[in-house]
Structures are given as structure tokens and as C-alpha cells.
Amino acid sequence: MTFARACGTAEVTVGTARATVVDDVPVAVVLTDEGWFAIHDVCSHAEVPLSDGDIDDGHIECYMHGSRFDLRTGVPDQLPATVPVPVYPIRIDGDDVLVDVANPHHLEEN
């Protein structure tokens, strides 16, 4: 595991995503009532940032065409996107949000 600082905990509020870059990888750090999530910040349908979309019911919705990606698996649950996006291990260390972009989770639905 190679965790690196993504942002500060105070920079993300519940129900929002914050765009950041970790080791040159674009990452959306998301906080929900269920906890913290880190998902690749590029839609798999076209190159737009997922962090500009809404967070709802454990998903982040692409603002461009409306595909919703599961924050736990990266799997889209509606068209037009059909390819999962990577999701990354995340942990909190004091006031820092740390993300490991070198070890994305498995992309299968679980």
C-alpha cells in the first residue's frame, strides 16, 4: 500500500466530491453518510470529471450523460457508460485524507 495525501478532511463536506490529483492520477474524494470513497475522476464514457456530478445513494453521477458509478466498485449502473472506473483504497490520518492510487480495488461488482 502506498498511501499519499489527497486533501484535508475539512475540504470535503458530506454529499460532495472534491477533485484532486494523487501521484498524477485524477481522483474524486467523496464523503457520504456511509464514509469516505476515492474514485477515478474521469468518466469511462468520455473524458469529463466525475467530481462535477451529484452524489446520491452510494453513487456518483456523471453530469454529462447521467451514468451513475458505484462508489464502492466503480461499476456504472446505467448507460451510456459500460466500463467501470477504478476505485482506490482511502483512509483518514488525522486531518488528512490519504489515497492509494497504485492499488485500485477489483472492478467487479461485489
Nearer to ligand FES, 50 or 98 (CB): 50
Binding flag, residue 65, ligand FES (CB under 6 A):
yes
- Is residue 80 within the footprint of ligand FES (CB under 6 A)? yes
* 65 or 72: CB nearest ligand FES: 65
Three-state secondary structure string covering 4-27:
EEEEEHHHCCCCEEEEEEECCEEE
Residues 9, 14, 18, CA angle at the centre, nearest 5°?
60
Give the span between the Cα atoms of 98 and 82, in whole angstroms.
28
Residue 13 burial (10 A CB sphere; 0-12, 13-18, 19+): exposed
Q: Judged by CB under 6 A, does residue 45 bind ligand FES?
A: yes
> Residue 51 interacts with ligand FES (CB under 6 A)?
no
Which of 7, 31, 62, 99 forms a contact with ligand FES (CB under 6 A)? 62
- The Cα–Cα gap between 76 and 97 comes to 25
Size, binding site for ligand FES by CB under 6 A:
10
Q: Does 107 bind ligand FES (CB under 6 A)?
A: no
Which residues of this chain interact with ligand FES, rule CB under 6 A? Answer: 43, 45-46, 48, 62, 64-65, 67, 80-81
